[in-house]
Amino acid sequence: MQARTWFTSITAAVTLAVLAAGCGVSADDNASGGTSSGPVEGLRILVPNSPGSGYDTTARAAAKAMQDAKLTDTVEVFNTAGAGGTVGLQRLVNEKGKDDILMQMGLGVVGAVFTNKSKATLQDTVPIARMVSEAEAIVVPKGSPYTSLEQLVTAWKADPGKVPVGGASNAGGPDHLTPMLLAKAVGVQPKSVNYVAYDGGGELLTAILGKKVAFAATGIGEVAEQAKSGDVKILAVTSEQPVEGIDAPTLKSLDVDLVFTNWRGIVGPPGLSAEKQQQYNELLTKMHESSQWKQTLADQGWTDSFQTGDEFKTFLTSENDRVAGVLRELGLVA
């Protein structure tokens, strides 16, 4: 009797867990259907980090937009986290020849391939589309002695060690690369930059507000609200164009030759047929045009930077070279 009660409760718990863990596992049943007309069937999207992360949110929002616009049947989004996304990347590369799987990725994975010395690289994958991008903000706390980028740069040049810069990513991530590239652009040795890595945007923001770091580089979305309330001041944004709703100049307009944004996109496994590539390009183009996706962009405050196929491939190559260059200079890559 006891054994049965116990078994029932475990079964119930497991059922709940499965329910929670894989909403939509059933999509596997009719894998690799999907002719170019009609909805794409049995698509899986691999997210190379944990639920709730930026990649995860993007992938799940994209999957929902595709489903709602009837471009696909149920899309299975699953997470294989680890090593800045390279564990997931390796898994995608291992799925060579499959045509029902795509991977969500972004700038962070480009850097992680180098810092993790990953065997699988993004050159192994098939670039499908870039979806969104986000400018990085050069930000100081309220009451900082630096009220302009120029003042900050003067102090930074004088003694880089005394001007610690905070960021919410590990070495090789967007928040780390931004101050390094900025240092190069204004004539500070990247190696002398005192970069303090924080564990996520929350910790970083506390450090900025508490004036623990002289300045910080981080995604504009992390500090937009605090900038509006006046708790932090954004000295500059790293995008080509000024960011809507943010009262801050671009680096270019301040005569600093640097444009660098964080971005997220989708790649496919090695050996994806030309026909399938075309189908996925079309799928993402249609998703991009859908009203559901437009609504998501507005709600999340993401900047649309849609790009597909060869254009995205060229972009990916140039980003890869740029990141490799910085990391080589820092001695992180041989």
Partner 1 sequence: MDALTELLNGFVTAAHPTNLLYAFVGVLLGTAIGVLPGIGPAMAIALLLPLTYSLEPTQAFIMFAGIYYGGMYGGSTTSILLNTPGESASVVTAIEGNKMARKGRAAAALATAAIGSFIAGTIGTLCLALLAPAIVQLAVKMGAPDYFAVMVLAFVAVTTVLGSSKVRGVAALAIGLLIGLIGIDPTSGQQRLTLGLPELADGIDVVVVAVGLFAVGEALWIAAHLRRTPADIITVGAARMSREDWRRSWKPWLRGTAIGFPFGAIPAGGAEIPTFLSYVTEKKLSKHPEEFGHGAIEGVAGPEATNNASAAGGLVPLLTLGIPTTATAAVMLGAFQSYGIQPGPRLLETQPELVWGLVASLFIGNAILLALNLPLAPIWAKLLRIPRPYLYAGILFFASIGAYAANLSTFDLWLLLLLGALGFAMRRFGLPVVPAIIGIILGPVAEEQLRRALQISDGQLSGLYDTWFSKTVYFVILLVLVVPPVVNSVRKRRKPTDRELQPSERAGD
Closer to partner 1 by CB, 225 or 289: give it. 225
Least CB distance to partner 1 at residue 82 (A): 5
Closer to partner 1 by CB, 57 or 281: give it. 57
DSSP 241: S
Tell me the CA distances in angstroms from 282 to 40, 69, 278, 317, one per residue in order.
Answer: 11, 13, 6, 22
Handedness of CA 331, 324, 234, 62 (dihedral sign): negative
Least CB distance to partner 1 at residue 326 (A): 12
Closer to partner 1 by CB, 113 or 149: give it. 113
Alpha-carbon gap, residue 131 to 74, rounded angstroms: 20
Least CB distance to partner 1 at residue 51 (A): 3
Instruction: Label each residue of 75-137 as H, E or C.
Output: CEEEECCCHHHHHHHHHHHHCCCCCCEEEEEEHHHHHHHHHCCCCCCHHHCEEEEEEEEEEEE
Alpha-carbon gap, residue 139 to 214, rounded angstroms: 9
Characterize 113-150 residue by residue with b for buried, 16 or more Cβ atoms within 10 angstroms of its Cβ, and e for exposed.
bbbbebebbbebbbbbbbbbbbbbbbbbbeebebeebe
Alpha-carbon gap, residue 239 to 292, rounded angstroms: 26
Least CB distance to partner 1 at residue 245 (A): 11
Least CB distance to partner 1 at residue 267 (A): 17
DSSP 306: E
Closer to partner 1 by CB, 96 or 117: give it. 117
Least CB distance to partner 1 at residue 114 (A): 9
Alpha-carbon gap, residue 282 to 170, rounded angstroms: 35
Closer to partner 1 by CB, 149 or 168: give it. 168
Alpha-carbon gap, residue 217 to 19, rounded angstroms: 39
Closer to partner 1 by CB, 88 or 127: give it. 88
Least CB distance to partner 1 at residue 287 (A): 16
Q: Closest Cα partner for 63 from 87, 37, 39?
A: 39
Least CB distance to partner 1 at residue 13 (A): 6
Closer to partner 1 by CB, 169 or 279: give it. 169
Closer to partner 1 by CB, 114 or 280: give it. 114
